Structure 1
Amino acid sequence: MDRQTISRLAHAHHPIAAPLSDEAVATLLERALGPEEEGRVLDLGCGQGGWLLRALAARPRRRAVGVDVDPGALTRARESAEAAGVQRRLGLHHLDAREFTDREPFGLVLSVGATHAFGGLLPTLAAARGHLAPGGRVLVGEGFWEREPSSAALGGLGAAREEYADLATTVDRVVAAGWTPVFGHVSSPAEWDDYEFSWTGSLAAWALDHPDHPDAADARAAADLHRAEWLHGYRGTLGFVTLVLRRD
């Protein structure tokens, strides 16, 4: 089973691919959208379109564009948009986010939990800047070290120590790159636990519900491995911060 399919199944009950509660998502999105009723929103790595669908519901005169490499996730986003009646205001592109171009700038650019597509936080912000209208905002979510990572944490994440910094250093780097945080949210332990149990539980449930599927054993193994890597590795070590940013 490929990673895109695993991720899509794992996020069946948590379409926002980050450790964020519904309340946190609503607050972050309200701050990021700002008071403007019109304008365009871009999500670089939109997955199943969770952020964009909420943005379109919150601002009935906004339009949105989503970019992702997973065709299955985009199909799900399209189906959800049709069910919500917002499909005419949503454009979806099956494309590497690094290759996306558009002639018009966007008032809000998002990349939450997808900075790996650009090679890290600062390259993601550099890419977002190229799409941003004057006075626009960026909503970005990134990991950071809550504490010094153990070898078990690094192994579970498949990460190197230098891949992340602590929270203060992470924010300092963003500011040094010319951005001003105007709001932020640090995911709580409860949000992390809810996200990880949802991720592993949704994937395991799919395997149990489809025992004769040729990928059932792979899905169950992926859920079991992920759960072990989280509980015995990076739980309490990897943090997640979501920032609303503006340019100086």
Structure 2
Amino acid sequence: MNREQVSRISHHEHPIKSPLADDSVRRLLERGLPRGDERVLDLGCGTGEWLLRALAARPDVRAEGVDVSADSLAQAAAAAQDLGVGDRLVLHHLKAEEFVPAEPFDVVLSFGAAHAFGGLLPTLAAARRHLAPGGCVLIGDGFWERPPSQEAVEMLGDFTDLATTVDRVVADGWTPVDGHVSTRQELDEYEWACWGSLAAWALDHPDDPDSAQVLATATARRAEWLHVYRDSFGFLSLVLRRTPGSA
């Protein structure tokens, strides 16, 4: 079973691929889309869940998503048609650095995709290139809630603590106008949903040739969460605007 199939199964019960509850997602979108007629771009949109929710909640929003996964984009397009918002969604099968829009966007989104850009600040640099004057960025990434083990750093990345993460964003020319630190419940529910869904699939498909591999993956990922990073990893979401006078 390939990585995309594993991801699709593991996120079946938690389609937002970040440790955020539905209420948190809704509040972040409300803060980032105050007018309700914005043009929205998602860099690394995956199956388009953020865009689909924005389009469903605001009938005057128009959105575009960019991703390298054709399978994920096909899922996003099918879901958009089912929701009746397909006429307001454009999807691009491209690397983010290859995307050249016809005009800038009022809102740029990127959640849990910073690894694809090389980190939080490079992701913000990519967002900046597509942002209209006065627009905002909604972004989510990890931080270390407590000092991590070396194993956790090697597994998840070289994050900093919460205060340092925000300080770096501010020094890069951004002003936070809202934010959310995922709660312990949100973090745990996300992990249980991912690895529980994967394990359940394996148990429900005992005759599938991939069943044993999938169950082993679910078991290993659950163990990594519980033993390596549960006590140190946190997740931060920010609503950002450009600081006046910044480059």
User: Match for residue 207 of structure 1?
Assistant: 202
User: Match for residue 198 of structure 1?
Assistant: 193
* Paired residue secondary structure (2:74): helix
Provide the rounded CA distance (Å) in 2 between the counterparts of 1:243 and 1:3.
Answer: 28
User: Match for residue 175 of structure 1?
Assistant: 170
Q: Deviations over 1:40-93 (max 9, x none)?
A: 111111111110011101210111111112222222211211111001111112
* Paired residue secondary structure (1:226): helix
Mapped contact 1:154–1:233 kept (Cα < 8 A): no
Mapped contact 1:5–1:72 kept (Cα < 8 A): no
Compute the TM-score of the two structures, normalised by the length of structure 2: 0.94
Number of residues paired by the alignment?
243
Q: Deviations over 1:165-200 (max 9, x none)?
A: 000000000000000000000001100010000000
Mapped contact 1:152–1:233 kept (Cα < 8 A): yes
Matches within 5 A, 1:42-121: 42-121=41-120
The alpha carbon displacement at 1:94 in A equals 1.8
Compute the TM-score of the two structures, normalised by the length of structure 1: 0.94
**Correspondence 1:132 to 2:169:** no
What's the Cα RMSD here?
1.3
Provide the rounded CA distance (Å) in 2 between the counterparts of 1:215 and 1:88.
Answer: 37
User: Match for residue 10 of structure 1?
Assistant: 10
The alpha carbon displacement at 1:137 in A equals 0.6
* Paired residue secondary structure (2:134): strand
Runs of 4+ in 1 over 4 A off after TM superposition: none
Match of 1:184 among 175, 179, 186: 179
Mapped contact 1:8–1:72 kept (Cα < 8 A): no
* Paired residue secondary structure (2:14): coil
* Paired residue secondary structure (1:116): helix
Point out the more displaced range, 38-47 or 224-233. 38-47
**Correspondence 1:150 to 2:145:** no
* Paired residue secondary structure (1:16): coil
* Paired residue secondary structure (2:203): helix
Provide the rounded CA distance (Å) in 1 between the counterparts of 2:99 and 2:199.
Answer: 34
Provide the rounded CA distance (Å) in 1 between the counterparts of 2:62 and 2:176.
Answer: 24
**Correspondence 1:33 to 2:33:** yes
